[in-house]
Amino acid sequence: MEIVFNAAGNFIVEVGKSVFKCIYPKIEDIVHFSTKIENLSKEMEKLAKFRDDIKEKVEGAEGEGYKAKPDVIKWIEDVHELENEWKDMQEKIAAAKTPTYKCCPKCCLRSKVSTQAQNIRDQQCGLIDVGKNFGSNLVVENYRMKKVEHIPGPSIEGQPAATRNLNELLRLLEDDKVCIIGVWGTGGVGKTTLVKNLNNELLKNVPSSKLSFGIVIWVTVPKPPIDVRKIQEQIASRLNLKVDKEGSVESIAGKICERLKEEKSFLLILDDVWEAIDLDDVGVPQLSVRRKIIITCRSLEVCRQMRTNREMNIFTLEEDESLQLFVKNAGDVANLEYIQTLAMDIARECGGLPLAITVIGSSMRGKTRVELWQDALDSLTRSKPHSKVVEDKVYGVIKWSYDSLESRDIQSCFLYCSLYPAAIPIDDLIHCWWAEGILGEHDTYEQAYNRGITLVESLKDACLLEADKMEDEDCVKMHDMVRDVARWIPSTSGDEDTYVFQAGIGLTEISRITISTSVKRISFVSNKIECLPDCFTKCPKTTSLLLQDNHHLMKIPREFFLAFPALRVLNLSGTGIRELPSSINSLSQLRALILQSCHWLNDLPTVANLHNLQVLDCEFTGIRRLPQGMENLTNLRLLMISGSCLGATSFDEISSLHNLTHLSIRVDSSSCLNGDYTWTWMTRLKGFLIKVGETPIYVPYKKSIRAINVAECEIFSNGELSGMLQFASDLYLDKCMGLRKLIAYSPFNGLKLLDIKGCSCSFGPVEGGSGQFDPLPNLEHLVLRFVENLKSVSDFGQYLGLRFSKLRQLDMDFCGSLTCLFNDGGSCCVPKHLEDITISCCTHLVDLFVQDQATLINSEMPRVRKLKLDHLPGLVGTLGEPQSMWEHLEELMVIGCYGLRKLPLSIQTSKNIKIIEGESFWWSELEWDDDNFKSNLECCYKNRYYYR
């Protein structure tokens, strides 16, 4: 019928052109209504596609650190509004197309709709023109920040439940009705891991434009009380927004708000929220469809207080996933036939909580006796790890691990660790445990220390302590939640006042803190305390006072220590104190006084009354003399005071300390000038580090090493140091002369390491030969650095009469005259036990070993396992014979040896090689006996950049 009407209409239009000129446009709108509407629909589709193209270019540029120009943003919004207006017209258009009685069109409605359509057509043309005028000038340079930054964390790959949670979270982010999402659940259930994986998922090219945010901001929320400024600092840093750190919270909030308003979309992730946060105080602008927030917390109530639109409860693991994670931590023992059922039951008792599964699973690792598994299951069944309070669930499970520790001693050690806010130095920890008496009774420091290490490892095995990878191997740390549990445990037995823990919270003064007179241990570690109160609460039962790492603390009130008559542990390490008050001498029960790295401390008051002191650690201080009353410290086992050189009388005072077994001290060379000095007292020492003079060689103190470090000393001619040196296992000599005379006076049977630096002796032939006896028969490690006039290690050995019968490791560095390591002749052949060789910056070295065939046949060749060659320009061709020396090589490093063009055949064909390090061009230029040899070793090669 519409076709018939159009045909008739065309005739009417033609007549109307001449007859009804004034009403012709109206007639045309009515007659050609459908055609015009169809054309406009096509034009609107073109506009939408044009808009999408510009939007795609803008979003691509935003990912590279640019932002859209305001007029471009306004244009995109205008197109969107016009599209909505066009969509709203569709019902009227449909009605106008429907004929009325006897198939007549709705003329009035068509006329009205046509007028609206023409208005839209005019706007559409205008928008097209404006869009074309933009050209490529769509964006301006922004703050050069990435839209999403990678957040390190464990992957959830292969974990079905976590993957489902991630997909659900992504779906919620796409929901226009959801602005604030609350992710809540039990502590340790994986909330933080989930949102970290979400953040990293947004790094990828997500298919949905709704998941492409202008910026994603990650904030780790500080523990209560809420510190809005710290939250603002993290947001400002992410936005590259410069704010006045001294400015008010309100002013910073205003700047953050204005900056975030510039972003058309953002996602703010607030992780680990313990109390509701006022977003207005932080500076978060009004949220909208493209401005969203995710919070993680342990409480649904916190979600409600923050007015979340949707709460996502992270549930514990299903039984099959729980068992899989449990077996992963417990090991293959959990799959043993007679244990498997018990393992399933224990995993089930953990309630699907990943933290509990990990802790308890690890505690059962390696336990093969079925009785241990039965007891563990019985204990879990009787305890209450799953109370209705979320924290109690977690605390109860971890407390089970605490209850399962082998003794009360290790339990006390675990609780003591909660006094530290972050990294815990193992040595300090053991000293405190020992001083507190919780390591048991031990006659020697060595026994106590060994027991301490055993307990540290036991706590690590139980997942109650972990290695601190951010620090070093000498530190451990506690997981935040484990520390919370450790602090909560005393309250379960009614001992709420046992501990005062105010560590790492930014305290500047402690006078207002209420402390019970029954408190046993006090920790103010890692704060900003500047002064201590003159009159402190009397604490007659306090045995530990930890004040370390308060760098601004410079003075201690004169009578401060009178408040702690029972004190056993005092740690002031890393403070700025200039002196200690005399009241420290009143601490007659003190066992450990730790003053390490108090760089401004130059003297100690008398310590005559500290009869029970076992540990005195003054490392890296400015103390230059031992305190008065030192002879009264009859229980002292460990003395560390090697920061500054002590006077000549120091050894006399130390020798009277009959229980001293471990010592670290620095003395003037004049202290050793008396050749008649009696050194027999050193037989009592199990470990020591004695520095003579201002030694530039850094030697770390280790409990089991007996090391002496001597610098610029020329007093060997009459054997002045022989008496002391004969007790050393490690000897470091820097610019010391008369080495041969020193060794000639007495054999050094205990010496295992000899490190010589800066020696310029003449290593020519020696009258009378090398002697019948090896003066260093047990030498295992030889280090020669900056040794002049030395052409070979063989010459060095002949000069001192050494056999190298037990030498395993050899390091040569900056020996400018060295031409080879070992040469044929005399009694000094290649050491048969040598397995680790490092040669660096010996510019005249041309060979490693120079021997004739007869020697090769008759000699037992060493089995070298590690070889490092660094900057040896004279080493050319190959490493040479003997081939058998390299058959067992496992590690090879070659840097700056440009003349070394070929590896020995025994290395090319070796099956023992694990790693070959070298510069890429050196590796590519190597010559091979067979191309297959190189391809076989490619997997072992690692590019090593030359950095000298």
**230/356 same-domain check:** no
| Entry field: residues in the chain | 948
CATH number, domain at 348? Answer: 1.10.8
Q: What confidence score (pLDDT) does residue 638 get?
A: 94
Burial state string for 837-849 with b = 16 or more CB within 10 A and e = fewer than 16: bbbbbbeebbbbb
Q: What gap in Å lies between CA 797 and CA 777, rounded to an integer?
A: 12
DSSP-derived secondary structure for 425-486: EHHHHHHHHHHHTTT---SSHHHHHHHHHHHHHHHHHTTSSEE-TTS-TTEEE--HHHHHHH
Give the domain-ending residue among 495, 527, 551: 495
pLDDT band for 431, please (50, 70, 90 cuts).
Answer: very high
Residue 688 forms part of a structural domain: no
Residue 30 forms part of a structural domain: yes
Question: How confident is the model over 602-658, as pLDDT tens digits?
Answer: 999 999 999 999 999 999 999 988 999 999 999 999 999 987 777 676 788 888 899
Is 686 in a helix, a strand, or coil? Answer: coil
CATH number, domain at 245? Answer: 3.40.50.300
**166/208 same-domain check:** yes
In the block, which residue shows the tokens 């140091």?
A: 721
Residue 232 forms part of a structural domain: yes
Domain count, the chain: 6
Q: What residue type is assigned to position 162 of the chain?
A: A
pLDDT band for 129, please (50, 70, 90 cuts).
Answer: confident
**127/26 same-domain check:** yes
Question: How confident is the model over 77-88, as pLDDT tens digits?
Answer: 888 888 888 888
User: For the chain, what percent of residues have pLDDT higher than 70?
Assistant: 85
**307/426 same-domain check:** no
pLDDT band for 719, please (50, 70, 90 cuts).
Answer: low
More confident of the two residues 442 and 848:
848
**187/263 same-domain check:** yes
Q: What gap in Å lies between CA 686 and CA 713, rounded to an integer?
A: 25
**pLDDT score of 6 more than 60:** no
Give the domain-ending residue among 822, 851, 880: 851
Q: What gap in Å lies between CA 763 and CA 679, rounded to an integer?
A: 31
Is 852 in a helix, a strand, or coil? Answer: coil
Lowest-confidence region among 39-48, 581-590, 934-943: 39-48
pLDDT band for 944, please (50, 70, 90 cuts).
Answer: confident
Residue 2 forms part of a structural domain: no
CATH number, domain at 418? Answer: 1.10.10.10
The answer to whether 330 and 364 have CB atoms below 8 angstroms apart is yes
DSSP-derived secondary structure for 230-256: HHHHHHHHHTT----TTS-HHHHHHHH
Question: How confident is the model over 339-348, as pLDDT tens digits?
Answer: 999 999 888 8
Average pLDDT over residues 27-39: 69
Q: Is the dihedral of CA 678, 680, 685, 691 positive or negative?
A: positive
**283/357 same-domain check:** no
In the block, which residue shows the tokens 């043993």?
A: 336
Residue 604 to residues 358, 447, 601, 630, 766, Cα–Cα distance (Å): 48, 29, 8, 11, 51
Give the domain-ending residue among 107, 140, 173: 140
Q: What confidence score (pLDDT) does residue 264 get?
A: 82
Rg over alpha carbons for the chain, rounded to the nearest Å, is: 40
Residue 611 forms part of a structural domain: no
Residue 255 forms part of a structural domain: yes
pLDDT band for 517, please (50, 70, 90 cuts).
Answer: confident
Q: How many other C-beta atoms lie within 10 A of the C-beta of residue 201?
A: 16
Q: Using alpha carbons only, what angle is made at residue 564 by residues 561 and 565, rounded to the nearest 5 degrees?
A: 105
**325/307 same-domain check:** no
Question: How confident is the model over 561-581, as pLDDT tens digits?
Answer: 999 999 999 999 999 999 999
**What ranges make up the beta strands (E) of 647-757?**
662-667, 687-692, 706-711, 730-734, 753-757
Pick from 941, 860, 875, 876: nearest CA to 907: 941
**179/275 same-domain check:** yes
pLDDT band for 759, please (50, 70, 90 cuts).
Answer: confident
State the residue range of the domain holding 750: 738-762+774-836+846-851
Residue 439 forms part of a structural domain: yes
**pLDDT score of 387 more than 50:** no
Range list of H helices, 239-318: 249-261, 279-282, 300-305
**211/302 same-domain check:** yes
Average pLDDT over residues 89-113: 69
**829/871 same-domain check:** no
Is 916 in a helix, a strand, or coil? Answer: strand
**pLDDT score of 118 more than 90:** no
In the block, which residue shows the tokens 């979340």?
A: 308
**419/302 same-domain check:** no
The answer to whether 428 and 569 have CB atoms below 8 angstroms apart is no
**378/444 same-domain check:** no
Pick from 279, 258, 261, 262: nearest CA to 270: 279
Average pLDDT over residues 196-212: 80
Residue 610 forms part of a structural domain: no
Torsion on CA atoms 655, 661, 664, 670, rounded to nearest 10: 20
